[in-house]
Amino acid sequence: MSIYVVPVGHLKEYTQGQERIAVPAEGKTVREILEALGIPSEVVAAVLIRDILVPKDHVPQDGDEVKLLSVLGGG
């Protein structure tokens, strides 16, 4: 069982440029997955699954593609 983390833009710096990372699903929250990947939660502005915003305590399901958006410039 896997989910796929897709860091967008600057967030690829935290994944050595990888654009799509398969991680075991294992019932982890988004926050826990970020921690495991070494991506500070604070730099992730939005988490989307099928283009819908989900909170960081959401548990992705098998096969979900979890897109991570950084905070760009705001306001």
Partner 1 sequence: MYGYGGKILRVNLTTGAITAFPTPENLARDFLGGRGFGIYYLYTEVPKGADPLGPANKLIASSGPLSGTPVPGAGKMDWTCKSPLTGGYASASVGGMLTAELKYAGYDSIILEGQAEKPVYLFMEDDRVELRDASHLWGLGAITTEVRLKQELGEEFQIATIGPGGENLVRYACIHHDFGRQAGRGGVGAVMGSKRLKAIAVRGTGGIQAADPKGFYQAARKMIKACKESEGLKAWQRYGTPMVVSWVQEVGALPTRNFSTGAFEEAPNLYGEAMRQKIVITDKGCFGCPSPCGKYSYTRRHGVYVEGPEYETIGMLGSDVGLGDIEDVAYANYLADELGVDTISVGGVIAFTMDCFERGIIGPQDVDGLDCRFGNREAVFTLIQKIARREGVGNLLAEGSKRAAQAWGKGAEDLAVQVKGMEVSAYECHRAPSMLLAYMTCDVGAHHNRAWAITYDIQTGRDTITPDKAARVIFLQHIRPLFDALGACRLQWVELGLDYNLYAPALQALTGVERSTEDLLRISERIWNLTRLYWIREVEGFGRAWDAPPPKFTKFPAESGPTKGQLTTWEEAQSLLDMYYAQRGWDANGFPTKAKLEELGLTEFAPY
- Which residue type does 10 have? H
Figure out which of the listed residues 54, 60, 64, 66 binds partner 1, where binding follows CB under 8 A: 54
Task: Work out whether 67 is an interface residue with partner 1 (CB under 8 A).
Answer: yes
Residue 74's alpha-carbon distances to 44, 45, 70, 71, in angstroms, are 13, 10, 11, 7
Task: Work out whether 56 is an interface residue with partner 1 (CB under 8 A).
Answer: yes
Task: Work out whether 13 is an interface residue with partner 1 (CB under 8 A).
Answer: no
Outline where the chain has alpha helix (H): 30-37
Question: For residues 28 and 31, which CB has a smaller minimum distance to partner 1 in the complex?
Answer: 31
Figure out which of the listed residues 1, 16, 38, 42 binds partner 1, where binding follows CB under 8 A: 42
Distance CA 63, CA 43 (A): 24
User: What SS3 class is residue 72?
Assistant: coil
Binding stretches for partner 1 (CB under 8 A): 8-9, 41-46, 48, 51-56, 67, 69, 71-75
